[in-house]
Amino acid sequence: MESARIDLPQGTLDLLILKTVALEPQHGWAISERVQQISSGVLHIQQGSLYPALHRLERRGWVKARWGTSENNRRAKFYELTGRGRKQLEAEESDWLRLTAAVAQVLGAS
Amino acid sequence: MLSDLANRCRALFRRRAVEAELDDELRFHREREIEKHLRAGRTHQQAVRLTRLAFGGLDQVKESCREARGVEPIETLLRDLAFGLRMLRGNPGFSVIAVLTLAIGIGANTALFSVVNGVLLKPLPFPHPEQLVGLHESKPNFATGSISYPNFRDWQQANRTFSAIAITRGTGYSLTGRGDAEQLRALAVSSDFFSLLGVKPLLGRSFARGEDEIGAAPSVLVSEAFWRRKLGAAPDVLGQSLTLDGKDFTILGVVPASFGLQRYRISHADLYVPIGLWDNPLLPNRAAGLGIHGIGRLAPGVTLAQARADMERVTRNLAAAYPEADKGIGATLVPLKDEVVGEVRPLLLLLLSAVGFVLLIACVNVANLLLARSTGRAGEFAVRTALGASRGRLVRQLLTESVLLAAAGGGLGVLMAAWGTRAALGALPAALPRADEVGLDARVLLFTLAVSLAAGVLFGLVPALRISRASWHQTLKEGGRGASGARHRAQNAFVVVEMATALVLLIGAGLMIRSLGKLWGVDPGFRPDQVLTASIALPPAMMAANADAVRGAWRVVDDRLTVVPGLVCSSLSWGAVPLASEDDLLFWIEGRPRPANENEMSWALRYIVEPGYLQTLRIPLLRGRFFDTHDGERSVPVAVVDELFAKQFFGDRDPLHQRINFNPGVNFADRAEIVGVVGHTKQWGLDADDRHTLRAQVYLPFMQLPDAAMALTARNAQVMMRFAPGAPVAEANVRRALAGISSEHEIYRAQAMTEIVSESLAARRFSMILLGCFALLALTLASIGIYGVTSYLVGQKTHEIGVRIALGARRIDVLRLVLGEGVRTAILGAAVGVLAALGLTRLMSGLLYGVSSTDPLTFARVVLVLISVTVAACYLPARRAMGIDPTLALRRE
């Protein structure tokens, strides 16, 4: 089962994080669970690499962080999408769709 | 963008808070993960293990987060600094030695650079100084001769490339009617002088055009210092008059104290008078050489070459118009800055490079210390490497430490320099032009900063690279001893560099010392000891008196001087003074064809003296007789010449009873008969006299000065006095004696002749002392270096030496082993140094006298000194090695 997982292609982690927090503010652990859940366990995210990515996105102003209370009543850091983050997400999403469509087309043509 | 900045700042300044937040965030994550696994029914241990696997190394994650926040470089720097400070504090002995070594090196560099900056780099303190040139008449055998007043006026009229030109002549006045009579230093200038230099009077105005003509109404500008000292800084001095040499001069203005160039012909004066008022009957004479020199300001956009071409045209036309006086006369133009500081430039650059070498040695020494210290730290760095620190990270840490050291050294160095510069300049005020402009300014501090940083990187880089290159598992296996072989090679290379550098400096200093020694041994042609020279001015009333009255007054002075305690003999003098002031005349030998114009006449130095002169200066009489009291104003005009004059103009023939014709109109007498030949005195200095073209000397009797000239001497004549051995050479005694005649006789500017001789070598001595200090410093640092390395070596080889002793080696063998290593290194360093010196000392040959830049004696002596010092430095550790107890040494392993 472990071998069935795919390592995340370079640069897609940001996209996944943005997509995940687009629905509602989330803390880091929830983001990692959510990504794994949605991708049905196929994508393997080294949990540690999530946090540098979050901090990088925060620095770029695409997400903003604030401390809140988690579902089990503990203090947690929540990340939410900013306006600029939303635009970035749209752009990256459409880029991704065009890329995968093109790749699929090439693969299907052979 | 702003939020990013805020974030970075927050991360930087509230580091602790940010770190805590990061901890909280990551802890929350791990707790949730563990909870998840527990809920899935795993044991606590399993849950923790799975969490750690999924999460990865906590420290790496944290480091990546910090990096992601983008404050990494600054923060790392701060951490490195903090760590470096801790390291340095933890090892105070090392830190103190390193900082002191660097402080000396950087301090010496800062001090010298502040001198170079003040003297050579700073522009002259006038607006658009690059337009200023020094102006002189070029004469057939003299490039920078004086400009005659009529020629100046024609140059002024005819040139097309200058916005203005002006002339100056130093002179003096005796001030009466305002307290005690006082002799004042004055500068006679033409009217454009101040406006040309961009100097605005503090009060009043400067001279207007025409006020500098011969016969204009007497006017004067006073210096700010004089105005404050003598005139009480009164604002209403304008229009008042000053009585100078018995004549009333109207005060036009006050010249600010900031004006003037130290040690140059426009240095600070008390008074500035129009050149036309300078009371010399020869002023209107086109051929007279009266010590007048010029300054010009090039018109905007004009190059020096264009101005030279222009003046070529002007002087050619003048030579055509006045062949008698101006044939062969051209104009010499020198950029003013070159004229002011050109002479000391090579010297200062030599010293700057010498002091650079000292810093190099200091750096190498500290690098050596760092290398030695790395023994203890090899383990530390191996552990850090094993834990994942990159090589770059380690090098950066080490460089931060060395730059910290250099910064501390630099800070201390600046303090040392501030003190040292003042001390050096205070001790040798006469040696340097523009010395008053030397100081620490922004440029000097910037230089120090750059030097400190460069030094830090220089001495830090090699040890840092070497340590970080060491393979960490090897080091850990060896138990922290590290790659000792490689380090030892590096230390040896360092010592070779130090020795070679020290040798170059020692040879440079040695050559300077030999030169100075040779110069001190040079016979100036007279005996300066126990001789005092001074200027004497007769009372102002005498300045309008006739020649006979003046002659009488001087005879009274001569008589009076005999009561000065300890005075053996004396002579008035009105021409050149050896090593101090110059005067010359044009002549032709009677019986030879009369030259068509003045430029075909011969030149000689002129000394106008009394019978006691020869005895006073102890100049040997070679033939005939010297003057006696019978050579008075009513007897036959006589002259005495020096041996060079005799040889140059008479060859093997007898000069006695030959007659010399003097250039009519320019000189005072018409002709004189040669009655004696005396030894040559070195007018142009102990070193420069041989190279000078004008060396032949003529002596004329003071009392035979023609009337017009005699009247002028009332203003000031020189007096030379010899005192008995052991008697005080005191100006005060002379002053007291003169006061016996009248309170208006003045004596001023007294100076011992030995002082004049010594001053003529001041620049040389200054550089020799400095170079000597630098060389000693270099030698000390280098011997500390070799001592350190040898001590280290003995420490390393304790085991080996113990084994040798146990196997029966004698103490002398041990000594030979240790000394041999040190001496081998020293010899290698000396060999490299000799080669370098052979190349480098050639550059200083212009500063040497009587010794070749590759003088074998100096080289041999210095090599010997170096090797002796090395042996001495190695002896202490060698003795330690001899005392090694084999059982202890072997047990220690």
For B583-601, how does the pLDDT look when each residue is reduced to its tens digit (9 = 90+)? 888 889 988 888 877 777 8
Q: Is B20 in CB contact (< 8 Å) with chain A?
A: no
Strand partners, B569: B722
Residues of A with CB under 8 A from a CB of B: 27-29, 32-33, 46-49, 51-53, 55-56, 58-61, 70, 74-77
Verify whether the Cβ–Cβ distance B33 to A52 is below 8 Å.
Answer: no
Asked if B413 contacts B103 with a C-beta cutoff of 8 angstroms, the reply is: yes
Asked if A67 contacts A60 with a C-beta cutoff of 8 angstroms, the reply is: no
pLDDT tens readout for residues B87-128: 778 778 778 888 888 898 898 889 888 888 888 888 888 899
Q: Which chain A residue lies closest to B10 (C-alpha atoms)?
A: A59
Strand partners, B250: B219, B241
Decide which of A102 and B889 is more confident: A102
pLDDT tens readout for residues A44-88: 677 778 888 888 888 888 898 888 888 888 888 999 999 998 998
Name which of B478, B464, B432, B353 is nearest B837 in CA terms. B353
Verify whether the Cβ–Cβ distance B55 to A55 is below 8 Å.
Answer: no
Average pLDDT over residues B535-555: 90
Name which of B12, B9, B22, B7 is nearest B59 in CA terms. B22
Helix (H, G, I), strand (E, B) or coil at B727: coil
Verify whether the Cβ–Cβ distance A77 to B60 is below 8 Å.
Answer: no
Distances (CA, A) of B392 to B61, B608, B626, B643, B738: 20, 79, 85, 76, 81
Q: Which chain A residue lies closest to B28 (C-alpha atoms)?
A: A76
Q: Is the model's pLDDT at B280 over the cut of 80?
A: no
Q: Is the model's pLDDT at B266 over the cut of 80?
A: no
Helix (H, G, I), strand (E, B) or coil at B94: helix
Asked if the ipTM is above 0.90, the reply is no
Counted across chains A and B, CB pairs separated by less than 8 A come out at 67
User: In this prediction, what percent of chain B has a pLDDT beyond 90?
Assistant: 31
Average pLDDT over residues B814-837: 88
Average the pLDDT over each of B85-94, B150-159, B386-395, B708-717 and give the range with the smallest value: B386-395
Asked if B219 contacts B211 with a C-beta cutoff of 8 angstroms, the reply is: yes
Asked if B429 contacts B435 with a C-beta cutoff of 8 angstroms, the reply is: yes
Average pLDDT over residues B761-768: 78
Q: Is B345 in CB contact (< 8 Å) with chain A?
A: no
Average pLDDT, chain A: 82
- Give the per-residue pLDDT at B252: 94
Measure the CA–CA gap between B182 and B537, rounded to whole angstroms: 10
Measure the CA–CA gap between B548 and B545, rounded to whole angstroms: 8
Q: Which of B36, B56, B68 sits opposite A55 (nearest CB)?
A: B68
Reported as half-sphere exposure (CB side, CA atoms, 13 A), residue B778 has a value of 32
Asked if B519 contacts B687 with a C-beta cutoff of 8 angstroms, the reply is: yes
Give the range with max mean pLDDT: B113-117, B181-185, B294-298, B707-711.
B294-298
Q: Between the CA atoms of B786, B791, B794 and B796, what dihedral angle is there, to the nearest 10 degrees?
A: -100
What count of other Cβ atoms lies within 10 Å of the Cβ of residue B196?
A: 21
Write out chain B residues lying below 8 Å of A51, CB-based.
25-26, 29, 61, 64-65
How many helices and strands in chain A, by DSSP H and E? 4, 5
Q: Between the CA atoms of B847, B848, B854 and B856, what dihedral angle is there, to the nearest 10 degrees?
A: -150
Average the pLDDT over each of B314-323, B330-339, B360-369 and give the range with the smallest value: B360-369
- Give the per-residue pLDDT at B441: 83
State CA B639 to chain mean position distance: 42
- Give the per-residue pLDDT at A2: 43
> How sure is the predictor about B376, in pLDDT bands with cuts at 50, 70 and 90?
low
Average pLDDT, chain B: 85
> How sure is the predictor about B248, in pLDDT bands with cuts at 50, 70 and 90?
very high
Verify whether the Cβ–Cβ distance B54 to A46 is below 8 Å.
Answer: yes
Q: Which chain A residue lies closest to B57 (C-alpha atoms)?
A: A48
- Give the per-residue pLDDT at B480: 44
- Give the per-residue pLDDT at B621: 95
Write out chain B residues lying below 8 Å of A76, CB-based.
25, 28
Helix (H, G, I), strand (E, B) or coil at B834: helix
Backbone angles phi, psi at B353, to 5 degrees: -70, -35
Write out chain B residues lying below 8 Å of A61, CB-based.
3-4
Say which residue the tokens 């190498």 belong to.
Answer: B364
- Give the per-residue pLDDT at B181: 75
- Give the per-residue pLDDT at A32: 85
Q: Which of B3, B4, B55 sits opposite A48 (nearest CB)?
A: B55
Q: Is the model's pLDDT at B613 over the cut of 90?
A: yes
Average pLDDT over residues A91-105: 87
Decide which of B509 and B263 is more confident: B509
Residue B452 carries which side chain, given as an amino acid letter? S
> How sure is the predictor about B61, in pLDDT bands with cuts at 50, 70 and 90?
confident
Beta-carbon contacts of B48 under 8 Å, excluding residues fewer than 6 positions away, are B34
Write out chain A residues lying below 8 Å of B61, CB-based.
48-49, 51-52
Verify whether the Cβ–Cβ distance B26 to A51 is below 8 Å.
Answer: yes
Average pLDDT over residues B311-322: 94
Decide which of B356 and B13 is more confident: B356
- Give the per-residue pLDDT at B21: 85
SS (H, E, C) B488-553: HHHHHHHHHHHHHHHHHHHHHHHHHHHHHHHHHHCCCCCCCCCEEEEEEECCHHHHHCCHHHHHHH
Q: Is B28 in CB contact (< 8 Å) with chain A?
A: yes
Q: Which chain B residue lies closest to A78 (C-alpha atoms)?
A: B25
Q: Is the model's pLDDT at B168 over the cut of 50?
A: yes
Measure the CA–CA gap between B562 and B585, rounded to whole angstroms: 32
Q: Which chain B residue lies closest to A32 (C-alpha atoms)?
A: B29
Backbone angles phi, psi at B522, to 5 degrees: -70, 135
Write out chain A residues lying below 8 Å of B32, CB-based.
29, 70
The pTM (predicted TM-score) of the whole model is 0.69
Helix, strand, coil distribution of chain B in percent, nearest 5? 55, 15, 30
Name which of A31, A27, A5, A107 is nearest A75 in CA terms. A27
